[in-house]
């Protein structure tokens, strides 16, 4: 399920505002159910709203990877005790970055802090690399300014994803 928010587009700032770090932004509020299908719908909606209208470089690949990892973590861990609550994804595309504010009502992060993001150790057992454990490594490697807070029963993860330039 996607809710329109009327924030798409923006007002062109003055030259002074541009020089101060402001930009014309596109924003979106996407609300989905915390399920694998909900994650797919959120990623497709992000692409629909922010992909270039014509031919050109795909600047959203890195953002899509980070969002997929973060959203899947919510589905697999925050709502692991049952129930498929909502995930709210607030996105602001501003110049060469995508600002992300991800919110859910699932379980809090362990100890109330973000995971460290170390690569999983498979100890050379001969079984090959592990199936999982790479999500926070990827999120920390590709995103900037990560922050997490739990407030009034809501998890809130914020970060920036730089969009690669052609």
pLDDT tens-digit map of 79-113? 988 778 999 999 999 888 999 999 999 999 988 88
For 111, which DSSP code? G
d(C-alpha 57, C-alpha 165), whole Å: 8
Measure the CA dihedral 92/75/105/69, to 10°.
Answer: -30
pLDDT tens-digit map of 29-57? 999 999 999 999 999 999 999 887 666 67
d(C-alpha 156, C-alpha 88), whole Å: 9
d(C-alpha 48, C-alpha 40), whole Å: 12
* Domains of the chain with CATH codes: 15-162 (3.30.565.10)
pLDDT tens-digit map of 18-32? 444 566 678 999 999
């Amino acid at each position: 399920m996607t809710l329109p928010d009327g924030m798409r587009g923006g007002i062109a700032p003055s030259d002074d505002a541009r020089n101060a770090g402001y930009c014309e932004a596109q924003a979106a509020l996407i609300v989905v159910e915390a399920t694998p299908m909900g994650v797919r719908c959120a990623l497709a909606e992000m692409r629909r709203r922010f992909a270039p209208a014509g031919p050109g470089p795909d600047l959203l690949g890195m953002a899509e990877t980070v969002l997929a990892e973060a959203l899947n973590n919510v589905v697999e861990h925050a709502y692991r005790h049952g129930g498929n609550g909502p995930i709210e994804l607030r996105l602001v595309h501003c110049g060469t970055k995508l600002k992300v504010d991800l919110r859910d009502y699932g379980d809090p992060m362990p100890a109330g802090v973000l995971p460290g993001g170390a690569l999983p150790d498979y100890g050379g057992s001969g079984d090959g690399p592990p199936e999982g454990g790479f999500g926070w490594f990827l999120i920390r490697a590709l995103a900037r300014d990560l922050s997490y807070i739990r407030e009034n029963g809501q998890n809130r993860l914020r970060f920036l994803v730089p969009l690669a330039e052609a």
